[in-house]
Amino acid sequence: MTLIGLPLWYGTVSKHKSIEEILALAKSKGIEYFEISIDYPWPYRKRDLLDSIVVNLTNLGFRIAVHAPWRDIHLASTYEDIRRASVKEVIRSIKDYSEKAEYIVIHASTAQKLTINNIRREILGALKKSIDEILESLGENTYICIENLSSGFPSEMQDIVDAVINTTNCLVLDVAHAYVTFIKHYKHHYNDFIEYLDDLIKMFKGIEIPVVHYHDVHFSNGFREHIIPCDDITKHKELLKRLRTIMPRFFLIEAFIDKNGRHLDITELINRCRELMTWIKIYL
C-alpha cells in the first residue's frame, strides 16, 4: 500500500498558530506521513518548533521522513573542503531526527560541469565518499535515497543512474523534476512526457524507488516548481497509471504554491488535493 504524505518546512508551519489543529485535520483527511524539510533556518532557529512538530507527529501516529538540507550543500563536490563541510552540515542538521525517519532524501549535487575535463569519475567518487561518511555517522540502517534534480547533477538519465547505483541504489523519483529535464533535453526525441517517463522507469530497472515526489511545474521566463498538482486531473491520472509500475511505498504531494506563485497553507493544500488523493489510492 502506498502512503500519501505532505511536506513540512519552516516557511509553511511558521504561519500557523496551532500546528496541532493542522495535523489533526491532516489525519482526518487521510494524510499518512509528513516529510520534514530540515533546511535553513532549521535547526538553527525555531528549534523548539521543529522538536514540537516531531513530537506531535509521533503522538498522532504519523510516519516521518526527512529531507536533508540542500541549499549551499554540495555532497558531490570535487573540492574536498566543500565536500567535507557539506557532509558535516547534513549530519549536524538531521542527526537528532534520523532515527525516526522512514527515509532521508539527499541531493547529490555539485556545481561542476561533467562534460569539462572528464571529471565524472571524480564527482561520483566524491559523492560515494560523502554518502559513506553520512551513513557511518548516522548508522548503517539509515535509509538514504537520492533525488533526481531538475538541473545540474544528477538530472539527466545516465547521471541519475550512476549517482544512485554508485551509492545507495535507492531513488526518490521527482516527477516534476523529470518533466523539466524532459523539456530541456529530450522533448524533440519523444512524442510526449509519458513516453519519456516510460523510458526513464525502464532505465531505472534494478534501482529501488520507494518514494515519489509529485508536484506541478509551469514554464514562463524560466520555470516554477512545487505548484499544487490539481488543475488537470486527467493528465495526472495518466501519470499515476505509469507510476503504478514501480509501486512506491511513499507518495509525497510536494507542493507549496498555486500556479500564480501564492504560497498555500497546509489546510488549503489538503482541501484542494482531495480528488488527486482519491486517484492516488485507486491507482497505487
Contacting residues for 140 by C-beta, under 8 A, at least 6 apart: none
Instruction: Give the chain's radius of gyration (CA, Å).
Output: 18
pLDDT value of residue 14 = 62
**Tens of pLDDT along 19-41?**
888 899 999 999 999 999 999 99
Q: Which has the closest alpha carbon to 159: 199, 203, 198, 197?
A: 203
pLDDT value of residue 113 = 84
What does the pLDDT average to over 227-234? 80
Cis, bond preceding 69 (omega within 30 deg of 0)? no
**Tens of pLDDT along 234-249?**
789 999 999 999 999 9
Give dist(CA 145, CA 240) in Å, integer.
Answer: 21
With a threshold of 0.85, does the pTM exceed it?
yes
As given in the structure block, the three cell numbers for residue 96 are: 537528532
What does the pLDDT average to over 192-204? 95
Cβ 42 vs Cβ 54: under 8 Å: no
- pLDDT for residue 12 is more than 80: no
**Tens of pLDDT along 122-140?**
999 999 999 999 999 999 8
φ and ψ of 67, to 5 deg: -100, 115
pLDDT value of residue 17 = 62
- pLDDT for residue 284 is more than 80: yes
The torsion region of residue 152 among left (phi > 0), alpha (psi -120 to 50) and beta comes to left
- pLDDT for residue 65 is more than 90: yes
Name the more confident of 279 and 261.
279
pLDDT value of residue 230 = 77
What does the pLDDT average to over 71-90? 97
**Rounded (5°) CA angle 187-113-89:** 110
The least confident of 213-227, 240-254, 270-284 is: 213-227
pLDDT, averaged across the chain: 92
Categorize the per-residue pLDDT at 73 as very low, low, confident or very high, splitting at 50, 70 and 90: very high
